[in-house]
Amino acid sequence: MNDLHTIPAERLDADDALASFRDQFLIPRHGDGEQAYFCGNSLGLQPRGVREALLQELDDWAALGVEAHFHGKHPWMPYHNEVRDGLAHIAGAEPSEVVAMNSLTANLHLLMVSFYRPTAQRPAILMEAGAFPSDQYAMASQVRFHGFDPATDVIEVQPDEANGTISMAAIEAALDQHGHRIALVMWPGVQYRTGQAFDLKEITRLAHAKGCVVGFDLAHAAGNLPLALHDSGADFAAWCSYKYLNSGPGAVSGAFVHARHATSDRPRFAGWWGHDQASRFRMGPQFQPTPGADGWQLSNPPILALAPLRVSLDLFSRAGLPALRAKSEKLTAYLEAQVLARLPNVLEIVTPTQPERRGCQLSLRVRGGRDQGRALFDYLVAQGIVGDWREPDVIRISPVPLYNRFGDVSRFIAAVETWSAPAGSVA
């Protein structure tokens, strides 16, 4: 640890070149002031520009009807192209490798139709133990759909590190032991519970060496960490856009298909929006996929859901991912340093300490168990300090560089200190 915790938050905020981006967001109110909002890992805040962008689409619909497909301010027909460069920037991908469509779990299923092709010799999916429930359900149901048994053919890598995190050695050992039976490695970019970030390129290298296909669920990584999906070599990936991508509840998901699969003849579920664009409106009977990730689209895109994504991605482009990551590392290091220096008897940090093994989130286990943890969490909410609670005893705090301040962190620390002072709940 360095002496970061001794620097006043006001000074760090004054030195923050990205500070003005906070004004681009609507910060929820708490009494006469603002919340200290640390829940961007669950639902990112609303960019100010979203309301106007939505009204524009409503106005175009009202004024132009079907003609807005071609003559709206942002014509609907090619609308998904308006988010393409922004998504490619977020994903570290070529523009043709990404597309905005559907929702996350739907995209995982859709992409597994093409990229999970189990055989009797190689039926299994490798994933982390304790994955987000939707991912567990999706994997198990895919295995069952193909006539295999999740009890033997969903293989989970157990945490092997003290705080419940997973070492690369454990992943490698699982691949050494089971690799010949594994059809698909499905891995998180950032684990939702522990906040652990993984080396996607290394996982891909190890898994490909065993002949496995590799997909990533980037729900907690997209907009949190700079990604390099193309260079990672991963076969496919998907993420949601309502967490760090600030695009609103249920926002359109993003999907990545590596360029080497651009004209893949793997089986896929088809819809008219994935059809070759030049001949789509000839309405012919034969499906001819358009090259790239676009070829996995099913339906014409939901414009009212894409509009917020367009606004939000624009903020990421303007701020720049390297600058955001630099601030993010500092914000999270500040939170970590304050917890270690001032709250060692109250909170234990679950998330890895090395910056390359985490994004912005710190998962904080409350010492003293569930009831203490709940009491602290409820106290924080009453103070307008919003993290989120994970059973049985973890509070997740995610300072995000686009709208959080160092002052938010010090407000959190001070509140926990007050709650845990000798007269308070923790004896």
Ligand X SMILES: *Cc1c(COP(=O)(O)O)cnc(C)c1O
Minimum CB separation of residue 43 from ligand X in Å reads 10
132-140, 147-155, 168-176, 299-307 -> range binding ligand X (CB under 6 A): 132-140
> Closest distance between ligand X and the C-beta of residue 243, in Å?
6
Distances 217 to 106, 117, 143, 272, 342 between C-alpha atoms, Å: 12, 18, 17, 26, 35
Structure-derived torsion over alpha carbons of residues 262, 267, 269, 272, reported in degrees to the nearest 10: 50
Least Å distance, CB 2 to ligand X, is 31
Q: Which stretch binds ligand X (CB under 6 A): 204-212, 213-221, 343-351, 401-409?
A: 213-221
134 is in an annotated binding site: yes
If binding is defined by CB under 6 A, does position 135 make contact with ligand X?
A: yes
Residue 128 interacting with ligand X (CB under 6 A): no
CB 339 within 8 A of CB 349: yes
Is 104 an interacting residue with respect to ligand X (CB under 6 A)? yes
- The count of residues interacting with ligand X (CB under 6 A) is 12
98 in contact with ligand X (CB under 6 A)? no
Q: At closest approach, how far in Å is the CB of 247 from ligand X?
A: 11
Distances (CA, A) of 43 to 329, 335, 375: 20, 20, 23
Q: State whether residue 136 is helix, strand or coil.
A: helix
For ligand X, the closer CB: 188 or 248? 188
Site residues for ligand X, 176-205, by CB under 6 A, read 188, 192
Nearer to ligand X (CB atom), residue 86 or residue 188? 188
At 197, list the tokens. Answer: 């970030």
Q: Residue 365 interacts with ligand X (CB under 6 A)?
A: no
**Which residue, 139 or 343, is less far from ligand X as judged by CB?**
139
Site membership for ligand X, residue 217 (CB under 6 A): yes
Neighbour-count burial of 146, counting CB atoms closer than 10 A to its CB (0-12 exposed, 13-18 middle, 19+ buried):
middle
Binding mask 259-298 for ligand X (x = CB under 6 A): ----------------------------------------
Strand 98-100 to strand 254-257: parallel, antiparallel, or no bridges (unpaired)?
antiparallel
**Is 276 part of any known ligand binding site?**
no
Q: Which residues pair with 185 in a beta bridge?
A: 126, 214
- Residue 230 tokens read as 């193309």
Of 56, 81, 96, 134, the one binding ligand X by CB under 6 A = 134
| Residue of 35, 46, 105, 420 that binds ligand X (CB under 6 A) | 105
Binding to ligand X by CB under 6 A, coded x per residue (else -) over 231-250, reads ---------x----------
Q: Give me the least distance between CB of 131 and ligand X, in Å please.
A: 7
Contacts of 419 (CB under 8 A, 6+ apart): 375, 376, 379, 380, 425, 426
CA atoms within 13 A of residue 198's CA, in its CB half-sphere: 32
Nearest Cα to 191, choosing from 252, 268, 103, 129?
A: 129
The 3-state DSSP composition of the chain as helix, strand, coil percent (nearest 5) reads 45, 15, 40
Binding residues for pyridoxal 5'-phosphate: 104-105, 132-135, 217, 220, 242, 272, 300
Q: Which residues bind ligand X (CB under 6 A)?
A: 103-105, 132, 134-135, 188, 192, 217, 219-220, 240
